[in-house]
Structure 1
Amino acid sequence: MKTWKAFAGATTLAALFTTSALADVTNREVWDSWRTYMGSTGLDISASENTSGNTLTVSDLILSMAIPEGDGSVTMDMGQVQFRDQGDGTVLVIFEQKMPITVLPKDGNEAVIEIDYTGMTLVVSGDPSEMTYTYSAAEIGAELVQLMTDGAPSDDVKMALKLTNMQGRSTMAMDDLTKVAQKLSAEGLNFTLFAKDPDGGDVDMTGSLQGVEMVASSAIPLIENSDDPVALFNSGFAVDADIRHSGSQMTMNVTGDDGPFNADISSGSGTVQMTMSGDQMSYDGTNQAITLNATGAEIPLPLNFTMEELSYGFAMPMLKQDGQQDFRLSMTLGALSIPEMLWGMADPGGMLSHEPATVSFDLAGKVTLFADLVDEQAMEEMEAPGELNSLTLNSLLVELIGAKLSGMGGFTFDNTDMATFDGMPRPEGAIDLNLKGANKVIDTLVEMGLLPEEQAMTGRMMMSMFAVPGDGPDDLNSRLEINADGHVLANGQRIQ
């Protein structure tokens, strides 16, 4: 599994930008531990060494790794790195300002990304069992400085990333596992991206994040078969990261055969939380106070949308275990406001509710895995990697044009019975739904001429079949159930 070996190597390269090398309290121990760890992750190291006084200088330092599946190579030229004993049990690590990373795919193309440090300082302290890295930089940038396509220079893609006023602190301990705990903050993160479509047109994007903060930890096993993801996870590989920002902006300009399209997107605070280990992989994110402004050749008028909240999340198991394992999936589009200009076209009389719309759901369940999801060969050979045991709707909410649908419930699944429901495991359980304001919305749509009376009547008949009156005058309840015999019931009445 070369992909996972490359992932371990890439993780090591990324760590260089924030924590530098693995180090102890002397310059020789700093360099030796760095070199040992780099080699254990599959990176090839080329360098020459020289010691003068309190400084160990490593020159012509080149790190290289193969792209998975023999698709080429990646090389990082770090030039000269100095490890200077400061006489107080700490080591100052000094980098060159610019470090090129060359990507050489097997198709013969070439890309060079240049890492650029301004005002970078890194001091290593601690003891052999646990080392501390304290670092800061006025700017850290990454820019695509060269792109070769079919042997000729190309301007089809340009991109750059810059982190400003960054500072952080990390601790690292090495044993059977290399454990890193890191806290980082930066005043801002800015990026630009330009891409040209060979068939015509281009995309030009700029964006920024303010008040970036990250708290992260990782555990990487030092094992011989680091290219085997199953072995890595079973040996304790784990990553946990919590990233936050206080605001974001992005501008996108697109040109093409259909004319230009322009969009400006901004948001308030946001978070991203990610974990990955042998137990589970999860990814959760939130953004607050989102605004989208868009114009374009095919858009008849400028559009302005706002949304109070966008959140999403999922979690799933990674490795097979005895018994059932948990998973979840959720999303919220909270208080989405549609421009009054659009409402004026669809509802000029203001008969429908123009209140912000919300769509939200939260699902959870249990599955049984038959194979490790990180085992690529097993995934290719198996028709299904596992089976669904249960599914629970913790919450459902849809609020739109004056109607509100909410619900909750759950089902278990009998995977030994694939006949009752024609090829799918037999479910058993129930879901409870509540619908408010539906009849008023139907009446309004009929009055506006958007819904024919006969279709409205059909809709009301369907609601009467599946729902019963609730507490309010325009309030409907429905309990949809599948029993142990495979019968489908609505509010206790069998419908299948």
Structure 2
Amino acid sequence: MYRPLATSAMALILGAGPLLADVTPNEVWQNLRDGYEQMGYQVRVGSEEGSGDRLTLTDVVLTAEEETASDMTLTLPRIDLAATGDGAVRSVVEGQMVLQMRDTDPEGEEVGMTLTLDAPGNETLSSGTADEMQHSFVMPTLVLEGRALDDTNEVPVTATLTNVEGTQTTATAADGSATQTYQGSADMLEMQVSATGPAATMPEDEATGDAAPEGGADATAPADGDTDTAIDSFDATVRISDLTLEGEGTSPAGEITFGNQPAAALEAGASGAGRFAMGAIAGSFTSATTGLEGEDATASGEFTAASGALAVSMSAEGLTYEGSATDMATQMTSSGMPFPISYAAALNSFRLAMPVVASEEEQPFALRYALEGLTLDDAIWQALDPEAALPRDPASLTLDLDGQTILSQNFMDPTFADGTQTGPDGQPQMPFLPRSLSINDLSLDAVGASVQMSGDLTFGDDPSQPVGTITGLFSGIDTLLDSLAAMGVVPQDQLMAPRMMMAMFARPVEGNPDQLQTEIEFREGGSVFANGQQIQ
């Protein structure tokens, strides 16, 4: 059975939570082991020593089942569990943990990474009863060092979390189902990426027009002993302060879990939700590349944000994924640009909601995006509009859609994105079949002009022939065209064409000559009318 790496990692990490609670070290470990095996993982222990109040495990290895296409192995060199004498169990992971993930992409190439984790001073205290336990953990530092599986490029990543702490509470019902809540925090996350690899320069014989040597030439693979091969590099640093994480989850009773049968687990009642908040964010990067013809290029930049947030939830009702960042600013320079690029925005946010379990019934979906207070640096304006003909007020963009759709294939099905599902006629079938769409708000406000659109559409078996009406209000368009003509962007003698086009789709608002309105009507059979006149 195919299992994506992300799904496996989530199940492996979150699956430990409900099983860390019991009254003795042996019972804690046995419950932990049983839980991983129920999730579809094999557990091997090099040695197991102790009994009663103490238990020491060495060379603990968790792997995905052999028949899975993806492969993940988590190695913990040593786990010490000891009763504290007051009904709690203290667990410590000693040594460096290693997480290896391997998979095959659609082109048949092996992908993955190796990640080492060091958590000196880590400690988890589990207390309560077998049916309801609380686990409190602390890690003064957590250092992660990773390297992608790549025979050509070097992509090492290092991340350090400081003052990590949190709690997790689990409860097991009489039928075997479990619920959990968790919360955690870290003072700071610092991450560095330093990637290098051979540049994609053009082979000398190809650049000069000479015939390539027999067997061809690989521009990206240096010959043995060739020390003059051009190397591309990329270095980045990110700092995030005041991280917090909270969430909850539910696991159904039985052998079906999100790790081995995600769709069935969701239908049985599995659910999860997590919220991740960040304080100040700051980062920088530099890059150096060599082009196909040997030309060198460099770039550098910095970015900041006052705060950020991410949230995700999944259940049989659907998947939601949303995030936001506030008070963002970006500056970038490049040898290929005549001037630095600098821009800022007050808010950037998004939200996606969609069904994940296939059903013949209609299910809701939604998509929202907002960009508010976008401003450009004076250097950009000077290049685009040296005479200051255009207003430079902050720009904004809003997209707010929702509707109903039929999902004919489980979203967690590994063939969902392959396009291999076929209908009764043997033809490829889209897993999403829209039934209705509401454009609650589609608006753009920039350079003195604005657009606002809304409407409702319904769909039959042919999504290309909707039925419904979309209305729009346009402001400042005529003034913007005059400004563009004054700037020389649009020749004065060519203004007639866009104005005639607008007249076909829009009409002036009574009493306000600088505003236009339109009503686009989609009718049965595929005909389209603009302001009552048929255009298709």
Kept in 2: contact 1:191–1:206 (CA 8 A): yes
Question: In structure 2, what residue type is equivalent to 1:395?
Answer: D
Question: In structure 1, what residue type is equivalent to 2:333?
Answer: T
In structure 1, distance between residues paired with 2:150 and 2:362: 49
1:275 aligns to 2:313 (yes or no):
yes
Deviation at 1:486, TM superposition (A): 4.5
Deviation at 1:344, TM superposition (A): 1.3
**TM-score, length basis structure 2:** 0.83
1:397 aligns to 2:433 (yes or no):
no
In structure 2, distance between residues paired with 1:162 and 1:172: 28
Cα gap change, 1:58/1:165 in structure 2, threshold over 3 Å: closer, same or farther?
Answer: same
Kept in 2: contact 1:177–1:236 (CA 8 A): no
> Which residue is 1:50 aligned to?
49
> Which residue is 2:406 aligned to?
368
Deviation at 1:82, TM superposition (A): 1.7
In structure 1, distance between residues paired with 2:186 and 2:79: 24
- Bigger drift between 216-225 and 158-167 goes to 216-225
Q: Secondary structure at the match of 1:170?
A: strand
Q: Secondary structure at the match of 1:118?
A: coil
> Which residue is 1:133 aligned to?
135
Deviation sequence 1:94-125 (CA, Å, 0-9, x none): 22142233457799999642211133221101
- Bigger drift between 344-353 and 448-457 goes to 448-457
Cα gap change, 1:173/1:11 in structure 2, threshold over 3 Å: closer, same or farther?
Answer: farther
List runs of 5+ in structure 2 lacking aligned partners.
Answer: 200-230, 291-295, 423-427
Cα gap change, 1:234/1:260 in structure 2, threshold over 3 Å: closer, same or farther?
Answer: same
Cα gap change, 1:103/1:444 in structure 2, threshold over 3 Å: closer, same or farther?
Answer: closer
Question: In structure 2, what residue type is equivalent to 1:336?
Answer: L
Alignment match of 1:251 (pick from 265, 284, 309): 284
Deviation at 1:66, TM superposition (A): 5.0
List runs of 5+ in structure 1 lacking aligned partners.
Answer: 419-423
Kept in 2: contact 1:100–1:112 (CA 8 A): yes
Alignment match of 2:488 (pick from 442, 446, 449): 449
Deviation at 1:197, TM superposition (A): 2.4
Kept in 2: contact 1:40–1:222 (CA 8 A): no
Kept in 1: contact 2:102–2:112 (CA 8 A): yes
- Bigger drift between 428-437 and 54-63 goes to 54-63
Question: In structure 2, what residue type is equivalent to 1:231?
Answer: A
In structure 2, distance between residues paired with 1:111 and 1:387: 36
Deviation sequence 1:189-235 (CA, Å, 0-9, x none): 12111222233302111102111111112223454354233322222
Alignment match of 1:481 (pick from 521, 528, 534): 521
> Which residue is 1:467 aligned to?
506
In structure 2, distance between residues paired with 1:156 and 1:442: 50
Deviation sequence 1:302-332 (CA, Å, 0-9, x none): 2211111111121111112242111111212
> Which residue is 2:59 aligned to?
60
In structure 1, distance between residues paired with 2:449 and 2:524: 34
In structure 2, distance between residues paired with 1:220 and 1:160: 33
> Which residue is 2:469 aligned to?
430
Q: Secondary structure at the match of 1:256?
A: strand
> Which residue is 1:495 aligned to?
535
In structure 2, distance between residues paired with 1:358 and 1:259: 33
Paired residues in the alignment total: 482
Kept in 2: contact 1:136–1:165 (CA 8 A): yes
> Which residue is 1:203 aligned to?
234
> Which residue is 1:329 aligned to?
367
In structure 2, distance between residues paired with 1:108 and 1:463: 52
Q: State the identity as a percent.
A: 26
Deviation at 1:290, TM superposition (A): 0.8
In structure 1, distance between residues paired with 2:17 and 2:94: 15
- Bigger drift between 44-53 and 33-42 goes to 44-53
Kept in 2: contact 1:310–1:333 (CA 8 A): yes
In structure 2, distance between residues paired with 1:173 and 1:20: 7
Question: In structure 2, what residue type is equivalent to 1:241?
Answer: G
> Which residue is 2:204 aligned to?
none
**TM-score, length basis structure 1:** 0.90
Kept in 2: contact 1:22–1:37 (CA 8 A): no
Cα gap change, 1:68/1:286 in structure 2, threshold over 3 Å: closer, same or farther?
Answer: farther
1:304 aligns to 2:342 (yes or no):
yes
Give the superposed CA RMSD.
2.7
Cα gap change, 1:229/1:108 in structure 2, threshold over 3 Å: closer, same or farther?
Answer: closer
> Which residue is 1:421 aligned to?
none
Q: Secondary structure at the match of 1:353?
A: coil
1:220 aligns to 2:222 (yes or no):
no
Cα gap change, 1:392/1:53 in structure 2, threshold over 3 Å: closer, same or farther?
Answer: closer
In structure 1, distance between residues paired with 2:357 and 2:239: 37
Deviation sequence 1:424-450 (CA, Å, 0-9, x none): 453211111111111111111222222
> Which residue is 1:387 aligned to?
433
